[in-house]
Amino acid sequence: MKPTLFVLAAGMGSRYGGLKQLDELGPNGETIMDYSIYDALRAGFGKVVFVIRHSFEEDFRKQVVAKFEKKVPVEVVFQEIDSLPEGFKPNPERVKPWGTNHAIMMGASVINEPFGVINADDFYGRQSFEVLCNFLKEKEGKSGDYCMVAYHVGNTLSESGTVSRGVCSSNDKGHLTSVVERTQIEMVDGEVVFRDEKGLSQKIDANALVSMNMWGFTPDYFKYSEARFVEFLKEKSKELKAEFYIPTMVNELISSGRATVSVLSTTSKWFGVTYANDREQVVLKINELIRKGEYPAKLWE
């Protein structure tokens, strides 16, 4: 059975106002998501699942799902504020759902095979999908054996401003031991630096591995998440902004010994539209990849 690609797209409406995230960056109207799905299909993924909000379902099906549904099985699931276990109700003033790991939980009803997780608005690059798919193909019927595709931090910077990244540490077996958030990362005089807790500038190796929210899981991850989410809600269900993040769940499974997460490095260069000024650079980078033959000028002939 081929792995499934799970695309986290529920934040689209709130972050970008409607579906502005479906910005046409390729020469024939392609979005970043088009390139991710193209890369995933040629790497060997066999199904695509999108998690979105009900509020933009109609537009999403017209603009996104219609492109792919004749090429690959597609499912759409929904993340809403009130998508909660029995007995819990959100604060009526809450406006956002419950974070990235809550979004993953919405896939439990349609995913029964190893699956990869990506953000809808990040350009991950061809090789990263190959690395992820090859790992997941070996995990059918297994549990607690996950992965994260990690990028060299120097390949994830914006030319328009600073970025935040989760810097990864691993043991001698190549298993993830921790993810530490670093903020205000940028290139200064040829060196990558970040700001520490005291606001001081600190150097970081350009080859240090960071998380870009590209994960590989087996279906047992849903059960672990459901159990932990109940505990999370007991503490935070009335809060307006508390979120249940993927690294929170992953760190807990690692520290309790219930799972290992292999750190798979990729030579791919990440890019995305973190700042408005990034758009022009993204268009140029996509055109350069087309010129080199990485992608056809028109993806979905």
In a domain, 95, yes or no: yes
Q: Quote the crossing angle between the two packed helices 32-43 and 126-137, to the nearest 10°.
A: 40
Positive or negative torsion for Cα 97, 101, 103, 107:
negative
- The CATH number assigned to the domain holding 228 equals 3.90.550.10
In a domain, 26, yes or no: yes
In a domain, 144, yes or no: yes
Report how many domains make up the chain: 1
Range of the domain at 38: 4-150+210-265+274-291
Which residues fall within 8 angstroms of residue 177, CB to CB, at 6 or more apart? 169, 170, 171, 254
In a domain, 44, yes or no: yes
Residue 120: is its pLDDT beyond 80? yes
In a domain, 204, yes or no: no
Residue 250: is its pLDDT beyond 90? yes
pLDDT of residue 21: 60
How much is the average pLDDT of 41-45?
97
pLDDT exceeding 90 applies to what percent of the chain?
Answer: 61
Per-residue pLDDT band for 19 (boundaries 50, 70, 90) equals low
In a domain, 193, yes or no: no
pTM value is 0.91
In a domain, 298, yes or no: no
Query: What mean pLDDT, rounded, does the chain reach?
Result: 90
Residue 150: is its pLDDT beyond 50? yes
In a domain, 218, yes or no: yes
